[in-house]
Amino acid sequence: MSQSTAASEPTTPDLDPVTANTERLKDAYTNTSFDPKWIKGSDHFWYHSRLCHNKSSFIYVDAHHALRAPAFDHTALAEALNSQGIHADATNLPFTHVDASKDCKTIKFRIGEKKFRFQHSCLTEYDGDLTQESLQPLKQEKVSEGSATRTNINFVNELKESVSIFWIDFQGDEKHYSNIQAGESQKQSTYEGHVWRVAKSEGNEAVATFVANGDDSIAIIKTGLIPAIPVGKAQDATTTESGEIEDNSTNQTERRFQLFIKDHNLWLHTHDDGDLPLSSTATSGQPFNADKIFISPNDQHAVAFQHTFDQDRTLYHIESSPKTQRQPRLKQTQYLKPGDRRRVDRPRLFDLTRRVEVETDDCLFPNPYRINSIGWNSDGSEFRFEYNRRGHQVLRVVGMATNGTVRTLIEDTSNTFIDYSQKSYHHHINDTDELIWASERDGWNHLYLFDLGQGKLKNQITKGEWVVRSVDHVDNDRKQIWFTALGLVADQDPYHSHLARINYDGSGLVVLTEGDGTHTWKWSPSRIFLVDTWSRVDLAPRTVLRAADTGKAILTLEEGDFQTLPQTGWQPAQRLAAPGRDGHTMIYGIMVLPLTFDPLKRYPIIEDIYAGPQDFFVPKSFSPLIRQHTLAAHGFIVVHIDGMGTNWRGKAFHDTCHQNLRDAGFPDRIAWLTAAAATRPWMDVTRVGIFGSSAGGQSALAALLWHGDLYRAAVADSGCHDNRLDKLWWNEAWMGWPVDENVYDASSNVVHANRLQGALMLIVGELDDNVDPASTMQVVDALIKADKDFDLVFVPGAGHGVGYSSAYCLRRQRDFFIRHLLGKEPPDRNAG
Residue 126 has pLDDT above 70, yes or no: yes
Mean pLDDT of 1-5: 44
| Residue 2 CB coordination number (10 Å) | 20
CA 13, 17, 21, 22 dihedral sign is negative
* SS3 label, residue 783: helix
State residue 217's pLDDT score: 80
Mean pLDDT score across all residues of the chain: 91
State residue 20's pLDDT score: 64
**Phi/psi at 13 (5° precision):** -75, 165
State residue 19's pLDDT score: 66
Residue 580: CA count within 13 A, CB half-sphere: 19
Q: What share of the chain is helix, strand, coil (3-state, %, to 5)?
A: 15, 40, 50
CB 447 within 8 A of CB 436: yes
| Greater pLDDT, 25 or 232 | 25
% of the chain with per-residue pLDDT over 90: 76
Q: Using CA atoms, how far apart are residues 569 and 32, in angstroms rounded to an integer? A: 21
- pLDDT-derived band of residue 148, with 50, 70 and 90 as boundaries? low
CB 282 within 8 A of CB 306: yes
- Mind listing the pLDDT tens digit for each residue in 320-341? 999 889 999 999 999 999 999 9
Mean pLDDT of 233-237: 36
Provide the angle, in degrees to the nearest 10, between the axes of the packed helices 666-678 and 695-706: 70
Q: Using CA atoms, how far apart are residues 558 and 400, in angstroms rounded to an integer? A: 54
CB 481 within 8 A of CB 470: no
Total-model pTM: 0.89
Residue 343 has pLDDT above 50, yes or no: yes
State residue 435's pLDDT score: 98
- pLDDT-derived band of residue 27, with 50, 70 and 90 as boundaries? low
Among 225-234, 266-275, 427-436, which stretch is predicted with the lowest mean pLDDT? 225-234
State residue 173's pLDDT score: 75
Chain Cα centroid distance, residue 252: 34
State residue 255's pLDDT score: 78
**Residue ranges of the domains in the chain?**
41-125, 570-821
Q: Hey, what long-range contacts does 566-572 have (CB within 8 A, 24 or more apart)?
A: 567/28, 568/21, 568/22, 568/24, 568/25, 568/28, 568/595, 569/21, 569/594, 569/595, 569/596, 569/597, 570/25, 570/28, 570/595, 570/624, 570/629, 571/597, 572/537, 572/538, 572/539
The type of residue at 756 is L
- pLDDT-derived band of residue 415, with 50, 70 and 90 as boundaries? very high
Among 170-174, 557-561, 617-621, 646-650, which stretch is predicted with the lowest mean pLDDT? 170-174
- Mind listing the pLDDT tens digit for each residue in 596-633? 999 999 999 999 999 999 999 999 999 889 899 999 99
State residue 135's pLDDT score: 87
Q: Using CA atoms, how far apart are residues 370 and 248, in angstroms rounded to an integer? A: 13
Residue 810 has pLDDT above 70, yes or no: yes
Q: Which residues of 744-772 are buried (b: 16+ CB within 10 A; e: fewer)?
A: bebbbbbbbbeebbbbbbbbbbbbbbbbb
Q: Using CA atoms, how far apart are residues 33 and 192, in angstroms rounded to an integer? A: 10
Most confident of 96-105, 108-117, 517-526, 564-573: 517-526
**CATH for the stretch 570-821:** 3.40.50.1820
State residue 252's pLDDT score: 53
CB 719 within 8 A of CB 775: yes
**How much is the CA Rg of the chain, to the nearest whole Å?**
29
- pLDDT-derived band of residue 244, with 50, 70 and 90 as boundaries? very low
The secondary structure of 417-472 as a DSSP string is ---HHHH--EEEETTTTEEEEEE-TTSS-EEEEEETTTTEEEEE-S-SSSEEEEEE
Query: Closest Cα partner for 461 from 477, 433, 442, 489?
Result: 442
DSSP bridge partners of 621: none
State residue 147's pLDDT score: 65
% of the chain with per-residue pLDDT over 70: 92
State residue 542's pLDDT score: 95
Q: Using CA atoms, how far apart are residues 111 and 97, in angstroms rounded to an integer? A: 10
- Mind listing the pLDDT tens digit for each residue in 732-771? 999 999 999 999 999 999 999 999 999 999 999 999 999 9
Distances (CA, A) of 438 to 96, 395, 447, 800: 41, 11, 5, 33
Q: Using CA atoms, how far apart are residues 698 and 132, in angstroms rounded to an integer? A: 45
The size of the chain, in residues, is: 832
Instruction: Give the angle 646-651-657 at the CA atoms, nearest 5°.
Output: 40
Mean pLDDT of 804-809: 91
- pLDDT-derived band of residue 443, with 50, 70 and 90 as boundaries? very high
H, E, C per residue of 457-470: EEEECCCCCCEEEE
- pLDDT-derived band of residue 132, with 50, 70 and 90 as boundaries? low
- pLDDT-derived band of residue 21, with 50, 70 and 90 as boundaries? low
State residue 129's pLDDT score: 82
Residue 100 has pLDDT above 70, yes or no: yes
The secondary structure of 562-585 as a DSSP string is -TTGGGGT--PPEEEEEE-TTSSS
State residue 218's pLDDT score: 85
State residue 336's pLDDT score: 97
Q: Is 162 exposed, middle or buried (0-12, 13-18, 19+ CB in 10 A)?
A: middle
Mean pLDDT of 821-827: 95
